[in-house]
Amino acid sequence: MKLRTELRPGCICVVMLLMLTALPAQAHRVNVFAYAEGDRITVEAGYSKSRPVMGGTVVVADKADGDEFLRGVTDDNGIFVFTVPDAAKKEKADLRITLLAGEGHQDSWIVQAGEYAAETAPRDAAASGVTYSGRGAAGSGQAGAAAGAQGGHVSVDEALLRQVVEEVVERKIAPVRTMLVEQHESGPGFADILGGLGYFAGLFGIAAYLKSRRR
Amino acid sequence: MHISEGVLSAPVLLCGAAVAAAGIAAGLRRMDYDRLMTVALLSAAFFVGSLIHIPVGPASAHLILNGLLGAVLGWAAFPAIFTALLLQAVLFQYGGLTILGVNTATMASAAVLCFYLFSPLMRRQGRWRLLGGFCCGACGVLFAGLFTAASLAFSDEGFRHAAGMILVAHIPVMVVEGIITALTVSFLARARPEVLHMNAGKQR
């Protein structure tokens, strides 16, 4: 065991110093997060919550077959907003939203068809007065459509009501969503960093043990 | 400089993995008992260094420290960088597991290249050593950027565009790392010369 013990203090100091400076730093990982409000989808892109990806390319594609619907560029706040294209609505496609931040940085997020289709279906039905093709709310949908065929205003009222409820729920949910985004995009914490350093100590121990047995 | 998962095609991934495996084997062969501690500590420094961000314009750049690892460890930079990247991928989701080989290859090859280019200079005294250390640190980042761009050449982004983006974003990093490496090398040369001489003289 002629380990160079005199080497340790200096190097450990260097590592500790690096660790201290590292604490306020953020993740070097791109994140993309998207949510639907009606048929408008907002995409947020960031290296972390405080460093948005400016001018990153956003590609919206069908999750099932990879067909590209549209692409766009994030603004200075790392945000890109788009309206779900009709082609996607028709197919009820799950959207894969991929962010290309350059330099080989990439991340993706899935928006399920249900997230935007739930709100577009009733609106379509109200406009045309035809039966719902909607999922989930099939029971009430049939009733609403039947009423629409007879009277007209009833179904319009229901659509309006739906819209109002959606808006209120949207507003109530907003803070929760912000919290989710922050959680999703938060960088490595102190525990992760310390844990990583612990791994190095452990790996070194194992390697030293193996080497010492061999001699 | 961590390429994300899903950007590169399978042949590039395999190439990177092959280069990384060869480098790790070479590094492990040169890593004797006395150097283990140095390798582990520098690997930990690399691991933590990626969390230190240098704010530059729109891009996100952080310390890489591969030049420093090259200067002190030589070929042992391969296993050191591999270990650090593996832990970063698992704990922080930087890069990813499938792309580990490519990321190791780009950053560690640059380290070894710098080691061969600048270690004669770093073995000299005074100013020359500082200059050698600075070049080693700065070129470590430069070469890693070029290698990363080269591996992106077969993706949508293309070599020229990727290289331009990466190099512009990393100019401040190059300066900072040059200074860090120069100071560390000259400190080690004075305080712990055996650390540097390990890979200069009695390399088996």
DSSP line for A87-156: HHHHHTPPEEEEEEEETTEEEEEEE-HHHHHHHHHHHHHHHH-PPP--SSTHHHHHHHHHHHHHTSHHHH
* Region A69-82 average pLDDT: 85
Instruction: Write out the residue range of the structural domain in which residue B58 sits.
Output: 10-190
What confidence tier does A137 reach under pLDDT thresholds 50, 70, 90?
very low
Of A4, A108, A195, the CB nearest to B34: A4
CA distance A12 to chain B (A): 7
B203 part of a folded domain: no
In percent, the amount of chain A with pLDDT more than 90 equals 2
CA distance A31 to chain B (A): 11
| Cα dihedral B61, B62, B68, B74 sign | negative
β-strand partners of A43: A34, A80
The pLDDT of residue B63: 87
Q: Is the pLDDT confidence value at A197 over 80?
A: yes
Closest residue in A to B90 (Cα) is A196
The pLDDT of residue B136: 94
How many domains, in total, are found in chain B? 1
- Main-chain dihedrals φ then ψ at residue B56, nearest 5 degrees: -140, 115
Q: Is the pLDDT confidence value at B142 over 90?
A: yes
B37 touches A at CB < 8 Å: yes
The 3-state secondary structure of chain B reads CCCCCCCCCHHHHHHHHHHHHHHHHHHHHCCCHHHHHHHHHHHHHHHHHCCCEEECCCCEEECCCHHHHHHHHHHHHHHHHHHHHHHHHHHHCCCCCCCHHHHHHHHHHHHHHHHHHHHHHHCCCHHHHHHHHHHHHHHHHHHHHHHHHHHHCCCCCCHHHHHHHHHHHHHHHHHHHHHHHHHHHHHHHHHCHHHHHHHHCCCC
Name the average pLDDT for chain A. Answer: 71
Could B91 and A195 be called an inter-chain contact, meaning their C-beta atoms sit closer than 8 Å? yes
B199 part of a folded domain: no
Of B36, B94, B195, the CB nearest to A28: B94
Angle between helices B10-29 and B77-92 (to 10 degrees): 130
Could A192 and B92 be called an inter-chain contact, meaning their C-beta atoms sit closer than 8 Å? yes
A87-91, A153-157, A204-208: least confident range: A153-157
Could B44 and A15 be called an inter-chain contact, meaning their C-beta atoms sit closer than 8 Å? yes
* Region A27-33 average pLDDT: 69
What confidence tier does B8 reach under pLDDT thresholds 50, 70, 90?
confident
* Region B144-164 average pLDDT: 82
> Residue B52 maps to which CATH number?
1.10.1760.20
B3 part of a folded domain: no
Interface of A with B in 150-189 (CB under 8 A): 187-188
B163 part of a folded domain: yes
The pLDDT of residue A16: 54
The pLDDT of residue A208: 87
B135 part of a folded domain: yes
Closest residue in B to A3 (Cα) is B34
CA distance A165 to chain B (A): 38
What confidence tier does A140 reach under pLDDT thresholds 50, 70, 90?
very low
B201 part of a folded domain: no
Q: Return d(Cα B46, Cα A119) in angstroms, integer.
A: 49
CA distance A171 to chain B (A): 31
What confidence tier does A135 reach under pLDDT thresholds 50, 70, 90?
very low
Which of chain A's residues have a Cβ under 8 Å away from the Cβ of B93? 27, 29
A11-25, A126-140, B53-67, B87-101: least confident range: A126-140
Which of chain B's residues have a Cβ under 8 Å away from the Cβ of A200? 40-41, 43-44, 47, 83, 87
Q: Return d(Cα B173, Cα B26) in angstroms, integer.
A: 28
Which of chain B's residues have a Cβ under 8 Å away from the Cβ of A2? 34
Q: pLDDT by residue (tens digit) across A95-117?
A: 888 888 777 778 888 888 877 76
Interface of B with A in 111-140 (CB under 8 A): none
In percent, the amount of chain A with pLDDT more than 70 equals 63
B196 part of a folded domain: no
In percent, the amount of chain B with pLDDT more than 70 equals 92
Q: pLDDT by residue (tens digit) across B74-124?
A: 999 999 999 999 998 888 878 788 889 999 999 999 999 999 999 888 888
Mean pLDDT: which of A14-28, A31-45, B24-38 is highest? B24-38
What confidence tier does A164 reach under pLDDT thresholds 50, 70, 90?
confident
